Amino acid sequence: MRFSPDRPVTIERVRYGERWFPFFFRMPDGLLLMSIEYNVDTNFSPHFRLQSIDNGKTWTNPTDNVPRMAWCHGFADGELFEIDTYGIQDPKTGDAVCYGAWSFPGRPNDAPRKEFVRLRGSTQRGLNLVQMRGNPTHPWWNLWNTLHGTDALTGEEIIFNGPCITSGIEMPDGRLLAAGYFSHAAVYESRDRGHTWDEVGIISDPAQGGVNANETALQRLRDGRIYAMMRTEADASGLGGQFMHTWSEDEGRTWSVPEKAVLEDEPAYRLGLAWPAMTTLADGTLVLAFGRPGKHLVFDHTGTGRHWQGRLDLHQWELDTQAFNGVPFERRLRGVVGEDWSKRMDRHTDSGDYLGVVAIGPREMLVVYDVHAYVENWNAYPINGVRMVRVRLEA
């Protein structure tokens, strides 16, 4: 089996401004939804929405419902749940509280419901506003002013205790399970369509001897187990610094000891550094998109997480596409192909290398990623935007 990509296309572009981190989702009715950061790569950069009803051929720009969305979930009845990235500590209960929204994208005349989401029992260790990177804009002010009962607050009083939700799944009985991190990676469960969440398990916590994990992708395997692929940071023990994965047999309550994820056909390749994004095809095949350095796609035809292979280098495919379109070498994406990425990588003039992937057919998927100072053809001016490529998995 192998991936077969079409030529990528630009679906969003600006000449002045920025486009970062397209988080990509597919509703049960086929609606495609994307959340894109439109400011510098930092905490508190707000997002805007794009959506498509024709498998990515055309895109519209509805009003965003939460300031910064990295994960959402579509229910079978057409309702969309969105959750904001940042949770603020309630000074009365210690819970993490963030913005949430419930809407029906197929009924645009219906106003969305916007409420606070409460995450109870979280063991995340927080940071105050002064310790965070970047300055929050007004969308977040009402959240902490309401929780504290005053707008006369200092940065030391506003505590972020997460979790930042990065992935989630719906269980057969309607419960939602989501992976979130702040000081560590944990699993949260909601029984009321995302209004309230309870921490039910810790995937990995460095304070308890675990690997330092953050961005995590969840999938439910055909045998009922929950599978997690995690971004990890290197530590003194030599663990981390690449993707590690783990399995749960009790719906996220307990997890196996994290292991380094490897490619069967490229065992020496360091698998992943940033933002693992996963989808499952109709036959159970797992597909993983990841980046930094580069942009890559791999699959596991067994659907177990044990047999990753078939890497497609989408960054090299972009360079090939620019060459095909007559872009001079010095104006193409710089990236890391054949280079020392630690010396050459500048994502502010290249790409954030956060990928999104969704399945749109039994063997077909769409992959998206941001580009910066991107030149599409020999006669084009540089743009910042989002690129999309249609990929098939062929025998």
Q: Structure tokens of 60?
A: 């519209």
Give the model's pLDDT for residue 302: 98
- Average pLDDT for residues 290-301, to the nearest whole number? 93
- Average pLDDT for residues 217-230, to the nearest whole number? 98
Q: What is the pTM of this model?
A: 0.95
pLDDT tens profile 112-124: 999 999 999 989 9
Q: Which residues constitute the domain of residue 217?
A: 2-394
pLDDT band at 241 (very low <50, low <70, confident <90, very high): confident
292 Cβ contact partners less than 8 Å away, ≥ 6 residues apart: 273, 274, 275, 345, 347, 352, 353, 354
Q: Which residue has the tokens 């460095």?
A: 206
- For the cut 60, the answer to whether the pLDDT of residue 337 exceeds it is no
Give the model's pLDDT for residue 10: 97
- For the cut 60, the answer to whether the pLDDT of residue 253 exceeds it is yes
Report d(CA 218, CA 3) in Å as an integer: 22
Q: Of 127-141, 307-321, 329-343, which gets the smallest average pLDDT?
A: 329-343
- For the cut 90, the answer to whether the pLDDT of residue 235 exceeds it is no
Give the model's pLDDT for residue 74: 97
pLDDT tens profile 113-156: 999 999 999 899 999 999 998 888 889 999 999 999 999 999 99
Task: Residue 109: give its domain's CATH number.
Answer: 2.120.10.10
pLDDT band at 342 (very low <50, low <70, confident <90, very high): low
What is the total count of domains within the chain?
Answer: 1
- Average pLDDT for residues 220-232, to the nearest whole number? 97
Q: Which long-range contacts (CB under 8 A, 24 or more apart) does 137-145 make?
A: 137/44, 137/46, 137/67, 139/46, 139/67, 139/99, 140/44, 140/67, 140/86, 140/88, 143/88, 143/97, 143/98, 143/99, 143/116, 144/88
Q: Structure tokens of 157?
A: 């009083």
